[in-house]
Structure 1
């Protein structure tokens, strides 16, 4: 039997992110660390804070509403356009390039950061033009990807959404885990094994406590 035929398939783990969210960025670096120690394969999907908050805009502070109407759209449009024009394999590398600039290097979601990330990921520079495209060409695809994640996890969540292996082989989706800094090595694996354990319990829905510190990018 060939090596390829005898190698078991890795367990797919689906991850929905908005590149603007620092907490999703932290979780994404954790799950990539877990890939080194567990037979999982992360599959990246785009979601949008702007779309997520559309039903409750009137309840949000004015400054946050303004951010959702402008800055929040630009990274997800660029990522979605890259995905649609160059395939799903670009999602992981582009997210890494964007997150490194936006969060680790503190550039924010500026046009310069988006353009730099496209170059870092080896993608065409003209994708930046989708950032400010009001009648976004791939809006339907963006919303469909967002809806797929939300349909798995339910309402009243944020980013990220992660779908883990559950009992009987089906996926169970959660918001989070929200963690800072991103765990490494044994700590990363221990958190993963715990997440898989709770996903295996029928009827488990939520563990939560108040956050007492902000995102810590120092080990990324």
Structure 2
């Protein structure tokens, strides 16, 4: 059986993307699927949106740091490192509730055995061109009316299947993760299918 390679675009600060990424790692265990991770940016996505609440605009300003650091690490060590980098970021941000800032960057880099001075990348806007390129490669096939997570999967006919989501909580485990994967493929691979949605009634659960 041929292994399916699925690509996911994430922003480390997004709790829903974190849950989806952990679901995808579960899918790897029960389906013949390999996940590759890529960086997108909610800060890039929300640029120029003056209607955003002031608190969220402040959050978007802070959110530049982790994605710049992720891009810098990817450039130096290759895209495969993003899997472990994202896990290190997500565990601290979403489980340990460590604020985005120097202490977070130092802890992530130390865990991965990476040079401490890479933390300077969080404030380096010269990385934004590369960040935007990674962001747009994920978003353009889906459109800019969505956020993260974004997933790309090759279709059986060779065409790209790209979609936002799934947005789910808690994290599906084991065969439940596999069944959700099967359903997502069926729906997303249906020609002309665009949207299936209902109001969120639960906050993200990271257990």
What is the TM-score normalised by the length of structure 2? Answer: 0.96
Q: How many Å apart are 1:142 and its aligned residue?
A: 0.6
Measured in 1, the distance between the counterparts of 2:162 and 2:45 equals 16
Indicate how the Cα distance of structure 1 residues 214 and 87 shifts in structure 2: closer, same or farther if over 3 A, else same: same
Which residue number corresponds to residue 21 of structure 1?
14
1: CA distance, partners of 2:67 / 2:12:
7
In the alignment, structure 1 residue 205 sits paired with structure 2 residue 198:
no
Matches within 5 A, 1:34-45: 34-45=27-38
Please state if 1:105 is matched with 2:96: yes
Q: 1:9 deviation in Å? A: 4.5
Separation (CA, whole Å) in 2 of partners of 1:104 and 1:170: 37
Native 8 Å contact 2:152 2:162 kept in 1: yes
TM-score norm. by structure 1 comes to 0.90
Cα deviation, residue 191, structure 1: 0.5
User: Which residue number in structure 2 is paired with residue 4 of structure 1?
Assistant: none
2:177 aligns with 188
1:118 matched residue in structure 2: 109
Distance in 2 separating the partners of 1:200 and 1:80: 30
Aligned residue in 2 for 1:64: 56
Q: Distance in 1 between matches of 2:100 and 2:17?
A: 15
Q: Considering only CA atoms, is the larger Rg found in Structure 1 or Structure 2? A: 1
Secondary structure of the 1:84 match is helix
Q: For each residue in 1:10-41, what CA deviation from the matched residue of structure 2 results, as whole angstroms up to 9, or x when unmatched?
A: 21101000001010000000001000111111
Unaligned runs of 5+ in 1: 1-7
| 8 Å Cα contact 1:152-1:173 kept in structure 2 | yes
- Aligned: 1:50 with 2:43: yes
Structure 1: how far apart are the matches of 2:90 and 2:33? Answer: 22
- 1:5 corresponds in structure 2 to none
Name the CA distance, whole Å, in 2 between partners of 1:121 and 1:152: 32
Runs of 5+ in structure 2 lacking a partner? Answer: none
**How much does 1:206 deviate?**
0.9
Aligned 8 A contact 2:151 2:162 in 1: yes
Q: C-alpha root-mean-square deviation of aligned residues, in Å?
A: 1.2
Contact 2:6 2:35 in 1 (8 A): yes
Q: Residue 167 of structure 1: CA displacement?
A: 4.1
Secondary structure at the aligned position of 2:140 is classed as helix
